[in-house]
Structures are given as structure tokens and as C-alpha cells.
Amino acid sequence: MALPRNILVPLDLGDHATRVLEYAVALAATLDAKVHVLHAVNWPVLGAEIPVSVSDKAMDEIVAKHQRELDQLAATYARGAPVGSVEVKVGDPRALIPQIAEQRGVDLIVMGTHGRSGIARLLLGSVAETVARAAPCPVLLVRSGTVVAP
């Protein structure tokens, strides 16, 4: 089995994102791998969270804002390992992450999980679980609160 050379790191830009990226970059540095950073903006969920219709212009502004945040976050960790792509895509992360992994030919996905259970998991679902089932490569999950030391 070959060691991973391309690692996809999907981030939700929450508090846990820095921990996941830090872990992925440390792992990539150890493996001499390249990191690809991805953030998915889910249009339907966004429309439900904001009590008004989201226009194309508003969505473009949201994507641009998230791209700036993602670029800044990736730049913070760029010294630790080579960073390939840093991109924001619009769509359901459950479908986008495996699709991007396939397109990029990544060898590993490193992503966060909140470890929800019970009603919260039932209502919010588990992006990590869905991705782990559909991904074309191994998926390493970093739980919130995990100590970073690969």
C-alpha cells in the first residue's frame, strides 16, 4: 500500500477547522504529501438559516467571503506542508467531498467530526459518516477536542 501523497481537507470554517487543518498539515509534512483545502457552502441549508431568499448576488458575496476566510486559514498553515488547491464550492458537502476527492485523485480525506449523537445527529445528520461511506479513498476523522499530534 502506498502512502498518501494528496490529502483533501474539507473544512466547515467553524471553531474546529483550525484543529483539523493543523492535524492534516502535520500529517502531510510527515508523509511528504500535498494538502487540498475545500469548503462547501450548502445553498438549501443556507436558505433555511437565513429567513429571506438568497439571491445569486448574495450567494456570490457569501462564497467570496468564505473564500477569503479559507485562503487566510490555508495561508496560516502553508509553511507546514505544500498546499495545492484552496477552493469554495456551492453544494451539499455530502456529495461534493467524495466528488472532489475523485476528481483530484486524492489518497486520503482528513476531516472533522463533531461526534454528535441522539437527536442532534438525527436532525443534523453526519456529513463525516456519509463521506466515509461514499469516499473513493480512506477517511481520517478528527474529533472536536482531539489533541493535535500525529
- Residue 66 belongs to some domain of the structure: yes
Compute mean pLDDT per 10 residues along the chain, 150 residues long, and list them.
Answer: 91 87 93 95 59 71 92 88 91 94 95 64 65 94 62
11: domain range? Answer: 6-143
In a domain, 149, yes or no: no
Considering the domain boundaries, does residue 117 fall inside one? yes
3-state secondary structure 3-54: CCCEEEEECCCCCCHHHHHHHHHHHHHHHCCEEEEEEEECHHHHHHHCCCCC
Number of independent structural domains in the chain: 1
**Is 47 a member of any domain?**
yes
Give the pLDDT confidence score for residue 120 in this predicted structure. Answer: 44
Q: What's residue 116's pLDDT?
A: 52
Residue 12 placed within a domain: yes
| Dist. CA 65–CA 45, nearest whole Å | 17
Rounded CA-CA distance 72/74 in Å is 6
Q: What is the CATH number of the domain that holds 99?
A: 3.40.50.620
Please report whether residue 32 resides in a domain: yes
Instruction: Give the separation between CA 4 and CA 97, rounded to whole angstroms.
Output: 17
pTM (2 decimals)? 0.83
How much is the pLDDT for 148?
47
Q: Does residue 123 lie in a domain region?
A: yes
What pLDDT score was predicted for residue 122?
Answer: 44
Q: Distance (Å, rounded) from C-alpha 144 to C-alpha 123?
A: 19
Beta-bridge partners for 83: 35
User: Which residue has 438568497 as its cell numbers?
Assistant: 54
Cα pseudo-dihedral 11, 17, 23, 24, rounded to 10: 20
The three three-digit cell numbers of residue 132, written as one number: 466515509
Q: Cβ–Cβ contacts within 10 Å for residue 71, how many?
A: 15
What's the pLDDT at 121? Answer: 45
Within a domain: 150: no
